[in-house]
Amino acid sequence: MESITIEKIQNWKRNKKKFSAITAYDFSFAKLFENAGVPIILIGDSLGMTIQGHTSTLSVKIKDMEYHTKLVRKGAPKTFLLSDLPFMSYYEIKQTLKNTAKVIQAGANMIKIEGGKWLIETVKELSNRSILVCGHIGLTPQSVHYLSGYKIQGNEKNDEKRIIEEAFLLEEAGIKMLVVECIPALLAKKISKNLSIPVIGIGSGKYTDGQILVMQDLLGMNEGKKPKFAKNFLHKNGSIQDAIKKYISEVKKGIFPNEKYSF
């Protein structure tokens, strides 16, 4: 696989070529995912739940993100790496720049931050320093208490209008990619169609430019209640490698997510 750059991802958007992404947190899975052809890996603060066993992402520290980014980069030297800045690690610009430097020096190509209007000046400051930024709107897990849990966003007219406005403001401020989580498919379609930057969906229907899943959801590793949008690709495939290739293929062809896995 050739090294993946932001320019390539932007070209996929322009050429209407759908692409896949997945979370990873260690060397072994990162290597497996790169060999299978996954172009984008997110080192997510979801590791607070999937790796550390907490009930939310709020306990994750910047040192955790730095550590796991290093591991993933060793396993996936050519993949485009996104790294989350965790809860309260980007509330003021001096702190944001310091923490951004840590994850980029650990191997990230781009940082991801959650939020809307309040992040505009932060995004501008990062972009002015040639730092690639990915926005994240809709369901933002770091705001789980404020949102009263993990549930769909953008159902109400005012909420829909706010999310659309946030998407445009963040693009204008300088983000080069956007994640939309748990919003209605038609709202995600409207955002993806009208932004010039790549839009990646999770639980947001099939109309986004790309799709991302948490690796544990994709591989059916989570017991009990699972998100509506989580499809177990390992269930009917013989190996993890086959499951990942099936996921990549279904996203490229627009098969996943269908209505069953959308809002």
Active-site amino acid positions: 181
Task: Return the DSSP state at 254.
Answer: T
CA torsion 244→249→252→254, rounded to 10°?
Answer: -110
Closest C-alpha to 218, from 63, 79, 78, 44: 44
DSSP string, 40-95: EEEE-TTHHHHTS--SSSTT--HHHHHHHHHHHHHH-SSSEEEEE--TTSSSSHHH
Query: 206: which 2 tokens?
Result: 């099939």
Residue 23, beta-bridge partner list: 42
Angle at 74 between CA 64 and CA 246, to 5 degrees: 95
Please check whether residue 199 is in contact with residue 180, taking contact to mean a CB–CB distance below 8 angstroms.
yes
18: left (phi over 0), alpha (psi -120 to 50) or beta: beta
Within 10 angstroms of residue 81's Cβ, the number of other Cβ atoms is 24
